[in-house]
Structure 1
Amino acid sequence: MSRLTPYVFSIVTSQRLLRWQRKLAEFRRSKAGKPHLVTVYLRISDPHSYILLQVLKALSTRYDIAFDFRTVLRLQENMYPAPGLWEQNAFADSAYLANIYGLDFPIAPPITTPELAHSATAQLLHCELQGDYLDKASAIFETYWQDQSDALNSLIDARIANNVECYQHHLLANETLLQNKGHYLSAMLHYGEKPGSEWYWGLSRLEYLEQRLTTLGAVKNATVDPISARTPTPVEPEPATDTRAASASPIINYWSARSPYSYIGLIRARELAARHGVALVIKPVLPMVMRRMQVPQQKGMYIIRDTKREAEKHNIKFGFSADPLGAAVERCYALFEHASENNLGNEFLETFARSVWAEGIDAATDAGMKTIVETAGLNWSLAKPLLNNEDWRGWAQENLLDMYENGLWGVPSFRYQQIAVFGQDRLDRLEQAIIDDRS
């Protein structure tokens, strides 16, 4: 790894660069007399798109914005390692968010067909070039997700349903635009032109778009509350010393040393476990690339930038980073058992993650790993001979199977009793489950 790598990371993720990029984008927008344009990518079979669509009217009422709607349908295969598990989790996650935001959502996924999804998509594509996309799309999405096939068919022009192929180039243009602009998910909001363009994923990242629009002075109706203000105030936990606080069930964290989200998730999960007197069990798995899977560059760039704003939100240091892919990950896992035997397993992994993602330490070198080991409270002379240990390969793969068995496919993922969630965003769901369980 180059010694310059952490400095490049820090520049790419710096707040100073972000402010400059935003300022330049706003200058160009204002000079050209263009509106605050938000491009919205929606997919009929995506539950996150359905719940996002339900808040867009309120968003446009509060902010002086215009929408450019882009309907998509096909997933980029190299971006979704386990599309079946992804869709299953997306439904459960959207149900949780819909409950928080007070939105409509079905109890079970709709019974539909690929043909119906294609017909509805063609109708949505047709509506893009009319002036009432939001109203028409809302009706189409509602009937699709509420399993009202007769009502949905009545909203689809028979001439469109019979000529779906005529909309394939339009669909391809939208999907290509999404990819060329640098993303792969639907339910995405895109604002600003390069170099000040940014992505916001559905309800989970809407707060960042609202913050940016507010800073730009784009609030036109302050009597309408920010959409992200609808999220409930976290329930104040009882003191951990309360006799009911201790739980026999631990929080399980499926974790990767190469995942920046895992770094943030580990810190937040450790804080959550401490608040409630719950044990935290970390189950490391190999990074996707080291499992011979693909992580395209555009996905990696979005993850790094999104991790930065999430880290800022939770007051976690991040950005002066030395990507640990390869030998550094292997050395970390080789010492995990030794650290665990000394009751410092979690501390060691957190120290490792902070060192590589926030302090620019190259863990592939002995000097770097020595710093990490000693900072974690371990003895370097005892740890160094274990760096070439290969026993970890067996338990890392076993952890992967355990993750799959619980309906999860990627990191960071978390499990508490029967509740399994993907991503550090949903630790609040686990916290509520812990509170409910102890009361």
Structure 2
Amino acid sequence: MPFTSLVKPRLAEIITSRGLQNARRGLHELGRRARGARHEVHYFHDASDPYCALTAQVLPAFEARYDIALRPHLISGPPAEAVPDPKAHRENAIKDATRLAQKLGLDAPKADGVTPEVNARLAAQLGEPDFAQHLKTISAAQWAGRDLPAGKQSDPAAATSAGDLKLRAMGHYLGGTFYYGGEWYWGVDRLHYLEDRFQSAGLGTGPLLVPPPELAFDSQDATPKTLEFFFSFRSPYSYLAFDRVQHLADQCNAELILRPVLPMLMRGLPVPKAKSRYILQDCMREARRLGIPFGRICDPLGSGIERGYALFDYAESEGRMGAFCSTFMRSVWSVGVDAASDKGLSQIVKAAGLNWPTARDQLKSQTWRRRVEQNQNRLQDVGLWGVPSFHVDGQSIWGQDRLWAVADLLGTESKQALPGFG
């Protein structure tokens, strides 16, 4: 086994460990105390982002609850390399933000777009102590399609330029994000992690403002449906979703269609370094919350992916497609198995209940490319580009943290909490 295949998984395990996280947090706190500084939270707002429309609704209550100094910034939007398909990204964001708002009891964005007046109003309020309340009021009017309340304005160009530079320098690319003590928290979806951190530090108490949606389902009322699941062996979010999707489909008596696609880098789509870093951090905490092993990573990009995908036909012929995919991702994302080597891939194959000599004979097969190409075309047809993604009952859903939405479409009424879904 190459030296890097031995060392990198252990380095990844250290990087994603709770011990290192706690050490970094401790160093941050020591530095803050030495400076005599308050607990500063940076918030980056993109007025055109529907997810920011949700964040704006909870920001005043968040600021009031915790002993923090909120530092707001305006940004102009994500860089082009972070959004491979802007049109599909925009359409999905509006649908998803609407669905999430309904789930959380927030006001869903009804209007689309932002006028120059919105950023001019927000720029004029940036230095005000009650910015969060002004933001909530202005954003509510904007996304409801109403006239903005009267107020002062300022040229937003300088403010958004400064915000863009700050966001990039601090290491992120999206709006609706919070930064505190070396860690990022995206939107209302991840605000509960920041709240947990504050409450553990004694900065505030009370029920979470935005607890993660619970996934619950009454399988007795389910009408059998077809669930298409798009995933990639190189996507850690796909790994976090895979076994849970299989369990959900079983509970709902749904026909699960597995649709593997190539990783974005192998499809020629850019993945900025800031995005990769955030995904690793986010998957680490999501895995802990869900009780899923994660962290000893051996990246299968390239030959590891191709060798794994070459075994699809064999695994499917043995009725072990789901078991093989699950074992492969668990092996590369939590055990550090090198799928590019015969030793590593044979370990995966055997653990999935398949025969290694038979599998080895299939490694030169290229028939998987046709399957993957068809799946990628299908993914585009349903209006998405990334994974993990789902298509059920005529609707497309993106993200491992949207399984509650998949369950809502598969069933009729949420009653029974499913284990392991958090």
Q: Same fold (TM over 0.5)?
A: yes
TM-score bin (small chain): over 0.9
CA distance in structure 2 between the partners assigned to 1:135 and 1:317 by the alignment? 41
CA distance in structure 2 between the partners assigned to 1:335 and 1:412 by the alignment? 20
Question: Matched residues, percent identical?
Answer: 34
Q: What runs of 5+ residues in structure 2 fail to find an aligned partner? A: 416-422
How much has 1:60 moved relative to structure 2?
2.2
1:291-335 deviation digits (Å, cap 9, x = unpaired) = 122112121111111111111111111100100000000011110
Q: Is the 8 A contact 2:42 2:178 kept in 1?
A: yes
Give 1:348's aligned amino acid: F
Aligned counterpart, 1:33: 36
* Matches for 1:7-406 after TM superposition, within 5 Å: 7-106=10-109, 108-110=110-112, 112=113, 116=115, 118-148=116-146, 151-152=147-148, 154-155=150-151, 157=153, 160=154, 164=155, 167-192=156-181, 197-219=182-204, 222=205, 224-229=206-211, 233-238=214-219, 242=220, 245=222, 247=224, 249-406=225-382
1:387-430 deviation digits (Å, cap 9, x = unpaired) = 11111112211101101111111001012222211100100011
- Any runs of at least 4 consecutive aligned residues in structure 1 with deviations exceeding 6 A, and if so which? none
What is the TM-score normalised by the length of structure 2?
A: 0.93
Any idea what SS the aligned residue of 2:54 has? helix
Any idea what SS the aligned residue of 1:283 has? strand
Q: Kindly tell me: are residues 324 and 234 of structure 1, through their superposed partners in 2, closer, same or farther at Cα, counting changes over 3 Å?
A: closer
CA distance in structure 1 between the partners assigned to 2:192 and 2:413 by the alignment? 30
How much has 1:119 moved relative to structure 2?
3.5
Give 2:234's aligned amino acid: R
Q: Kindly tell me: are residues 438 and 246 of structure 1, through their superposed partners in 2, closer, same or farther at Cα, counting changes over 3 Å?
A: farther
Any idea what SS the aligned residue of 2:218 has? coil
1:211-254 deviation digits (Å, cap 9, x = unpaired) = 100111111xx4x432124x56543534xxx5x5561x222110
Q: Kindly tell me: are residues 253 and 236 of structure 1, through their superposed partners in 2, closer, same or farther at Cα, counting changes over 3 Å?
A: closer
How much has 1:63 moved relative to structure 2?
1.6
Give 2:169's aligned amino acid: N
1:265-306 deviation digits (Å, cap 9, x = unpaired) = 112211212222323221011111111221121211111111
CA RMSD, aligned part only?
2.0
How much has 1:96 moved relative to structure 2?
1.7
How much has 1:5 moved relative to structure 2?
0.8
CA distance in structure 1 between the partners assigned to 2:131 and 2:89 by the alignment? 28
Q: Is the 8 A contact 1:189 1:202 kept in 2?
A: yes
Q: Kindly tell me: are residues 93 and 155 of structure 1, through their superposed partners in 2, closer, same or farther at Cα, counting changes over 3 Å?
A: farther
Any idea what SS the aligned residue of 2:361 has? helix
Give 1:254's aligned amino acid: F
Give 1:125's aligned amino acid: A
Q: Is the 8 A contact 1:120 1:156 kept in 2?
A: no
1:133-161 deviation digits (Å, cap 9, x = unpaired) = 2222222212211112xx2284463xx4x
Q: Kindly tell me: are residues 352 and 34 of structure 1, through their superposed partners in 2, closer, same or farther at Cα, counting changes over 3 Å?
A: same
Q: Is the 8 A contact 1:62 1:226 kept in 2?
A: no
Q: Kindly tell me: are residues 58 and 332 of structure 1, through their superposed partners in 2, closer, same or farther at Cα, counting changes over 3 Å?
A: same
How much has 1:100 moved relative to structure 2?
2.3
CA distance in structure 2 between the partners assigned to 1:65 and 1:47 by the alignment? 25
Any idea what SS the aligned residue of 1:54 has? helix
For these two proteins, the number of residue pairs brought into alignment is: 412
Q: 1:434 aligns with which of 384, 402, 410?
A: 410
Q: Kindly tell me: are residues 217 and 321 of structure 1, through their superposed partners in 2, closer, same or farther at Cα, counting changes over 3 Å?
A: same
Give 2:301's aligned amino acid: L
Aligned counterpart, 2:420: none
Q: Is the 8 A contact 1:334 1:391 kept in 2?
A: yes
CA distance in structure 2 between the partners assigned to 1:68 and 1:438 by the alignment? 39
Q: Is the 8 A contact 1:355 1:372 kept in 2?
A: yes
CA distance in structure 2 between the partners assigned to 1:174 and 1:202 by the alignment? 17
Give 1:136's aligned amino acid: H
CA distance in structure 2 between the partners assigned to 1:74 and 1:187 by the alignment? 10
CA distance in structure 1 between the partners assigned to 2:255 and 2:373 by the alignment? 23
Q: Is the 8 A contact 2:77 2:174 kept in 1?
A: no
How much has 1:433 moved relative to structure 2?
1.8
Q: Is the 8 A contact 2:217 2:407 kept in 1?
A: no
Q: Kindly tell me: are residues 288 and 392 of structure 1, through their superposed partners in 2, closer, same or farther at Cα, counting changes over 3 Å?
A: same
Q: Kindly tell me: are residues 233 and 314 of structure 1, through their superposed partners in 2, closer, same or farther at Cα, counting changes over 3 Å?
A: closer
Q: Is the 8 A contact 2:74 2:159 kept in 1?
A: no
Q: Is the 8 A contact 2:111 2:142 kept in 1?
A: no
1:77-101 deviation digits (Å, cap 9, x = unpaired) = 1111112111111111111221222
